[in-house]
Amino acid sequence: MNEIEELKEMFKDNIKFNEPMRNHTTFKIGGPAEIFIQAKTEEEVKKVLEKSRKIKKNVFIIGNGSNILVHDEGINGIVLKICIKEIEIEENQDVDVTVKVGAGVKNAELAQKLLKKGIKGFEFASGVPGTIGGAIYMNAGAYGEEFKNIVQNVTYMNKEGKIHTIKNEDCKFGYRNSIFTSGNFIILSAVLKLERGNIVEIEKRMKELANLRKEKQPIEYPSAGSTFKRGDGFITAKLIDDCGLKGYKIGGAQISTKHAGFIVNVGNATAKDVLDLVKYTQNKVYEKYGKNIALEFKVI
Which one of 178, 189, 223, 226 is the catalytic residue? 226
Distance between CA atoms of 297 and 300, rounded to whole angstroms? 10
CB of 287 to ligand FAD, least distance (A): 28
Q: At what angle do helices 107-117 and 199-216 cross, to 10 degrees?
A: 150
The least CB distance from residue 141 to ligand FAD, in Å, is 5
| Between 91 and 299, CB nearer to ligand FAD | 299
**Residue 25: CB minimum distance to ligand FAD, A:** 7
**Which of these is catalytic: 126, 146, 176, 256?**
176
Nearer to ligand FAD, 204 or 216 (CB): 216
Q: Do 14 and 51 contact (CB within 8 A), yes or no?
A: no
CA 183 to chain centre: 13
Nearer to ligand FAD, 157 or 199 (CB): 157
**Residue 205: active-site member:** no
Q: In 3D, which of 134, 130, 136, 131 has the Cα closest to residue 152?
A: 136
CB of 70 to ligand FAD, least distance (A): 10
Q: Closer to ligand FAD by CB, 82 or 194: give it.
A: 82
Tell me which residue of 291, 297, 280, 294 sits closest to 244, measured CA to CA.
Answer: 280
Active site residue 230: no
Binding site for ligand FAD (CB under 6 A): 26, 61-68, 82, 103, 128-131, 133-135, 137-138, 140-142, 180, 186-187, 217, 219, 223-225, 298
The nearer residue to ligand FAD, 112 or 283, going by C-beta atoms, is 112
Report in angstroms how near the CB of residue 96 gets to ligand FAD at its nearest.
24
Catalytically annotated residues: 176, 226, 296
